[in-house]
Structure 1
Amino acid sequence: MTAFRETGWAKINLALHVRGRRADGYHDIETLFAFVDDGDGIEAEFADADSLSIDGDFAEGLTAGDDNLVRRVLTLLRTRYGADRVPPLAVTLTKRLPVAAGIGGGSADAAAMARLVRRHFLPELGDAGLARLVATLGADIAACVASATCLGLGTGDELSPLPELRLSGTPVLLVNPRQPVATGPVFAAWDGIDRGPLFTGADLRAQLFAGRNDLQRAAIAQCPAIVDVLTELGALRPWLARMSGSGATCFALFDAPAERDAAAAHLAQSRPHWWQMAGALR
């Protein structure tokens, strides 16, 4: 039987500046999205009716009902384009990424499902059109469709590509203390201080060094172990280490794969209970 496969690439926020709280309860942000060349797995095959099963290291506690973003994307695209274009599918989601971790998670999976449907059943639909459709289900999903480095404004759904950053291939290590952090409470606990826009300039490293994550303080209040992760990563001498999204996952960027791999090996010995993923930016 034919199986279709797609990857929900892990998302990181190289910088995340919160500029204001909106009347609708959301926040205006400026963020630099980047994506890692690994993540969750989506597999689908033809079926008599839609179904979703979830396996993998982080499947526990996830529900496969109609409210799951993977199923909602499938329903949305079928409603928009018709059952004759988007057939029933039996979908398996393999959760390799921790949940409530600041690295895309459900958004990456939703985008992967959208790409899978587009690739096999809606080939005329481009990234921009697909992103506009699925963005109604969540702000980060739009960025996850292309899963390429980009600038996100508004709630993170106003996207501009940034090919000039030339980050593809950069060795990256993701680390999470295996403690979930709820996004809503972290944004709600933001102190309301606008600390200024993203710095833009020709010097990539200066641009990233000048960035920050304005949610870090609120996330640490919910999950103090983030401090330990950042401290351990910083001691391994990456050229950048920072918390991603609303936490608790932190990332470190290195100059060479050997440096990343040595850091990963060290943490596997010193912090064997922490989750980690070594890869490269897409």
Structure 2
Amino acid sequence: MRFSRLLPWIILVVCTGAGAALADWRPVTHEPWPAPEAPISHREQTLESSTGRTLRAHLVLFDSRRYRLAVLDLGPELAPTSAWLERLRAAGLLAAVNGGFFHADGQPLGLVIAEGRSLSRFETVKPLSGVLYDDGRGIHLERRARFQSRPGIDALIQSGPYLVERGQAVRGLSTQDVSRRTFIATDWRRHWILGATRDGLTLAELAEALATPGALAPWPVERALNLDGGSSTGFLFDPGEGRAPIELRARRPVRNLVGVRAR
């Protein structure tokens, strides 16, 4: 998503009233969740809301003790989704979603560290409220104001807004812009989910769905962060062993991917 498309979001956060009605979400998918100790796995989850909206999401669940986060730079030429699988396999990634925001010329918005190389500078613009990174010891998701650079960080994306914090949906998120969404969520122990929605919904709706027990995760979501969305929303899970990849194609090229690889 180009930076210019962030401007309506900034305006909506300021102007949206806190009294807007929020949806209650219930799962339509009734298959059991993978066991917490299971290896990396894919899940397609369907929810329905009390306001009549349907949410279908591709999810990849993984344990940070066994898997690392990676950021794969696709270059300023903005590689199309058709090139994702080849790039993903070459980098040893098992799954990926589109990553952070970028400018019209393809330059990343906010700090990005891909494969240990810093590609841009740290930003303090309001939408980039979170920092997602891997330092070799684990995966971290922090508020921008709390982040401190340190040696060993080889994968980092600055993005936002924060969707869930301390188990609660963040207040003040937009209730107006309906778009496909990409996100990362965690129980802040060792369990993580990378997700992308097939259907459009607002940021406030996504936050409420993530904070609803059992809706988009088998464990309570302690914190979650929005990644680039809209026409940039894409998802790829490679099950290997000759099986066809599971894919949600982005509608336009993107600058980088956030992915998962084995430790």
Output the TM-score relative to the length of structure 1. 0.26
- Structure showing greater radius of gyration is 1
**Higher helix proportion (structure 1 or 2):** 1
Higher relative contact order (CA 8 A, sep 6+): 2
TM-score, length of structure 2 as denominator length: 0.27
